[in-house]
Structure 1
């Protein structure tokens, strides 16, 4: 059991109450739990699965300790025809299975792991090399402002197989990344504007849910949350009545407001 909070007296009373009911032992401050390493410093809290990764690499016989600046090369696309077939697919499958659990502290690689897991039957050597690039720790700063910042992005027709786009967004509380998502869209967007606008809808729904969560945790957001994006056409839809009257745009707007309304209804 993990007990957390900022009221030391309440935590002490809870421990005492549990000791009277259950046979328990206080292990002190949290440092390791289910392969999750927790390091508390004056600067903040570091979450890492370094030992888990080392054990995973050791189990599959990998001793290469090189690191990379990013988990994936820029503009790289995965297809079944990449390179030659890897001669030891068992190691590849073991690494992918381990990386699925690694996304607990590395949510930024969740989509990459999802893509690489599609080639478990006959993984190419280039995909195996991509698996080995994933390595580093995650940090939550203790000095972040309680201000929510959101960055939204869409990779239009990024999948070379079915030409579907990818929805991606990052939610920061101050300078700390608290939530991110990268998911392939279930339809084929006819333009980058459509892909970005649908990403806006998904991001907005997530922001409403996160703001509701903060309010229940006693840290309400005092100001509106800006959703930042680099697609000018998608942004102009919100400011131009001509674009707003387009049939496809109207359908997207209705979907957006229905999702937001349902989330607000659920929150109330």
Structure 2
């Protein structure tokens, strides 16, 4: 945290990116000027997307969402074309050792679930 006056400035660092937040725009601009004096940097403006999270900013609210990330996972797993249903598997399905179903691609599965 970086302090200037009464308000605290919150700075999130990820790799070479910084997210700077504060109630007062003047404090953010002051922090950016101070950092620019020491480091070569560029201002990408208002945050809109960060670590697979969509960010929508209003005057009084900040909305976070992951619909693009969820859609990408559905596409990647091949189920985006299916319609939603209450039971996500075939009803009364009998499972046996001698299954004729195509085996799951373990590498694709791990990439989808984040392993």
TM-score between both structures, scaled by the size of structure 1: 0.28
Aligned to 1:10: 27
Q: Deviations over 1:125-147 (max 9, x none)?
A: xxxxxxxxxxxxxxxxxxxxxxx
The whole-number CA distance in structure 2 between the counterparts of 1:65 and 1:43 is 37
Aligned to 1:93: 110
Aligned to 2:9: none
The whole-number CA distance in structure 1 between the counterparts of 2:28 and 2:49 is 19
Between Structure 1 and Structure 2, the one with more strand by share is 2
Structure 2: stretches of 5+ with no match in the other structure: 1-17
8 Å Cα contact 1:60/1:94 also seen in 2: no
Residue-pair matches, total: 88
Pair 22,93 (structure 1): closer, same or farther in 2 beyond 3 Å: same
**Map of 1:26-175 to 2, 5 A cutoff?**
26-42=43-59, 44-64=61-81, 66-67=83-84, 84=95, 87-90=102-105, 91-97=108-114
Structure 1: stretches of 5+ with no match in the other structure: 74-81, 99-268
Pair 11,95 (structure 1): closer, same or farther in 2 beyond 3 Å: same
Pair 3,61 (structure 1): closer, same or farther in 2 beyond 3 Å: same
Cα distance, 1:93 vs. partner?
A: 3.4
TM-score between both structures, scaled by the size of structure 2: 0.58
Highest RCO, 1 vs 2 (Cα 8 Å, sep ≥ 6): 1
Between Structure 1 and Structure 2, the one with more helix by share is 1
**Map of 1:101-250 to 2, 5 A cutoff?**
none
Pair 87,52 (structure 1): closer, same or farther in 2 beyond 3 Å: same
RMSD: 3.1
